[in-house]
Amino acid sequence: MTEAPLRLRALDLDDLAVLSGIVAGARLRVADMSYERRRRRFAVAMTRFDGHPAGLHFEGVLKVASRGIDRQKPETEFELRAIGCEPGLDAEATVVLAFAGGGSVRLDVECIEAYLAEMPIAETP
């Protein structure tokens, strides 16, 4: 029997902490991260530590900045250590994706709104 793919939504700091624990150890490449400025969406494709492929995206993203990540090297692989959050005024916040080795991506968001969806793994006969 196959388990249903995991689907989660994070709308506050507590939810984001749970999501962080679930994606800790995930592997991704620079090419797997994208920012759709017009839609204000930042998305990441990753492989979780247990081998499950998953997609993570944040809505209401106003600005994206990175440190220690060379966008000219799209095949560079990173390990996601944690997702943190620095609350701002009202519902605004800065979400930080922290990677092993010190790299990070900072997302200035209107409010915390993140979604994680595991992709089903095809069973081999």
Tens of pLDDT, residue by residue over 39-59, are 999 999 999 988 899 999 999
What pLDDT, on the 0 to 100 scale, is given for residue 27? 97
What pLDDT, on the 0 to 100 scale, is given for residue 113? 97
Q: What is the mean pLDDT of the chain?
A: 93
Tens of pLDDT, residue by residue over 57-97, are 999 999 999 999 999 999 999 999 999 999 888 889 999 99
Q: Long-range contact list for 66-69, CB < 8 A, 24+ apart?
A: 66/103, 66/104, 66/105, 66/106, 67/102, 67/103, 67/104, 67/106, 68/99, 68/101, 68/102, 68/103, 68/104, 69/30, 69/99, 69/103, 69/104, 69/105
What pLDDT, on the 0 to 100 scale, is given for residue 123? 63
What pLDDT, on the 0 to 100 scale, is given for residue 48? 93
- Do 46 and 32 meet the contact criterion of CB atoms below 8 Å apart? yes
Distance (Å, whole) CA 51 – CA 22: 12
Q: Are strands 93-99 and 104-109 parallel, antiparallel or unpaired?
A: antiparallel
Domain boundaries, the chain: 7-118
1 band by pLDDT with thresholds 50, 70 and 90: very low
- Average pLDDT value for residue range 11-15: 96
